[in-house]
Amino acid sequence: MKNDPRIRNALDESLSSVHFDARDMHRVLRAVRGQEAPVRERARRKRKPLRLDFLFAVATAALVIVPLSLFALRAQRTATSKISTVAAHGAVSTGMPAGHEDVLLATPLPPSAGEPGAGVIGESDAIQAARACFEAQCDTTIFTFDEYAVDVSAALGEDGAPSSYVVTMESIYGNGCVFRVVVSAQDGTVISYSTPRLATVPAGLDRQCAEVRAWYERYGEHSFTWPLDAQAEFSRRYEGGMRRMPEEGEADADAIAAAAQAHLSQQAENGVEADSPYLSLYAGRAFADGVARYRVYCIPQSDAGKLPESCTVLTLRASDGVLESSQILPVPVF
Amino acid sequence: MQDTTQESREQALVRLMQVYGDNVKRMCCVYLHDLPSAEDAAQETFIKAFEHIDPLLGGEIRNEKAWLMRIAINTCKDMLRSSWLRHIDRRKAIEELPLSVTPAHEEHLALTQAVTALPPKLKDIVLLHYYQDLNLRTCAQILNISAPTATRRLAQAQKRLQQELERS
């Protein structure tokens, strides 16, 4: 069985859904930066086995406290305010804000508006409300909720009880994307949220960021020369998903490369030197008309191995591979 | 030793995670039979690697893959030991492991199952030699055993796998 790849293939195939993903990477980086307790400590806390005293407490609560509370509630006909999430009562407007200001949705109730302590939601409910708000307002085709590190802070009212929660979601990729939601502690209503676009589209690419630099070191100094899947994943994390992979029904990279090559050969007959093409597929969101297009960068091979100052850039529609334009442009610096 | 900044250390760590992350996590998964434990073990492997990354950056470690796998194996062993001490058996059958979204070939599934079922000593050598593609001498160094012992264990593992596959 020496050099037999069967075991490797079997394990890789059986466990192909197991990846050391961005969340793992983020946790490691947070731990090494001292921002988070080491994984092993969290793991121990998380998996603490059930203890008898805990079971006893749960049993006591189930047998004594809960029936008594229910009895008391029924006897006094106390109406407790129902906690409803944003998605349930539709408090979030569907319109996208134009500016970068927070969107105000409701005037927070003063803490004294209800009975003291009544109807106060917990942090986990606030997170669920923020998640619903994120999913209603932000482009979840770029990042999902799981790709954010979530932090909750409570604003306390005069009685010392939380009056509202500020849920801050920070992208785990170190790209500066943030979404902030203020949730009422009284009923779980979203009071305001920050600009949705800033949750998924980074303000700029920080080339000094360790994660970003690792990408460039791995694939090369110019991202348009990278494999398409690497470009798509990098763009999703750091460029707001401007580049992506081809979808079903669209021209694939091979077809586009062939079309570009045919165009270049035609130009070569007219005295223009043929070049080696590099492809990028830009999503519809990168263009005003919302149409996805391939950009093919035809770079002349220089003797020194350095990129020249300009190159031919072909633009082809992703849907059918039709050539839309051919321009001489400066070589992109990204 | 080369004087390295926190930034260059972090960069080296990110590169290690990108290159070996999937490999390490999958190996931990087979070793521990449990995805949450494998996640913890894989993350802890890289945290430990970061704590000792200076020799790597200084060029003192020639085979970074072997170095990382040694950390991963030791981390998994530590986790198994601590689980055993707490009398918790979190091991799962292969059917409960997070398998591929696309159905795997039956033959591959059976082989994965057989590898997972091997005793730890035999599983070590199989994972390092066949899955991580390390030569026997390197495997022996990682496991702190002699090369003949490594060869013997590999032969035992092959026999066990053969029997298991014939049975299935």
Domains of chain B: 1-98 (1.10.1740.10), 103-168 (1.10.10.10)
pLDDT surpassing 70 at residue B133: yes
What is the arithmetic mean of pLDDT over B130-135? Answer: 88
- Count CB-CB contacts under 10 A for residue A269: 8
Between residues B165 and A232, the one the model is more confident about: A232
Determine the residue of chain B that is closest to A15 in CA distance.
B99
**pLDDT under 50 in chain A at which residues?**
1, 38-54, 73-99, 108-118
- What pLDDT score does B121 carry? 87
pLDDT mean across residues, chain B: 81
Provide, for chain B, the percentages of residues in helix, strand and coil under a 3-state DSSP scheme, each rounded to the nearest 5: 75, 0, 25
What pLDDT band is residue B94 in, cutting at 50, 70 and 90? very low
- CB pairs < 8 Å spanning A and B: 125
Cα A265 from Cα A292, distance rounded (Å): 25
Using an 8 Å Cβ cutoff, are A191 and A185 in contact?
Answer: no
Of the candidates A11, A28, A49, the beta carbon closest to that of B131 is on A11
Determine the residue of chain B that is closest to A6 in CA distance.
B108
- What pLDDT score does B97 carry? 46
* pLDDT-above-70 percentage for chain A: 69
What is the arithmetic mean of pLDDT over B80-85? Answer: 61
Cα A13 from Cα B102, distance rounded (Å): 9
- What pLDDT score does A175 carry? 84
What is the arithmetic mean of pLDDT over B57-86? Answer: 81
Q: What is the pTM of this model?
A: 0.46
pLDDT surpassing 80 at residue B150: yes
What is the arithmetic mean of pLDDT over B75-82? Answer: 82
- What pLDDT score does B6 carry? 81
Taken as a whole, chain B contains a residue count of: 168
CB contact under 8 A, A17 and B100: yes
CB contact under 8 A, A16 and B40: no
Q: Which residue has the tokens 């521990």?
A: B32
Helical segments of chain A, H only:
6-14, 22-32, 39-46, 52-60, 66-76, 86-89, 123-137, 197-200, 210-219, 228-238, 253-269
pLDDT surpassing 70 at residue B32: yes
pLDDT surpassing 90 at residue B46: yes
What pLDDT band is residue B58 in, cutting at 50, 70 and 90? confident
- What pLDDT score does A305 carry? 63
- What pLDDT score does A232 carry? 92
Beta strands A178-184 and A190-193: pairing type? antiparallel
Determine the residue of chain B that is closest to A1 in CA distance.
B158
- What pLDDT score does A44 carry? 40
Q: Which helix (DSSP H) or strand (DSSP E) does residue A170 occupy?
A: strand A162-171
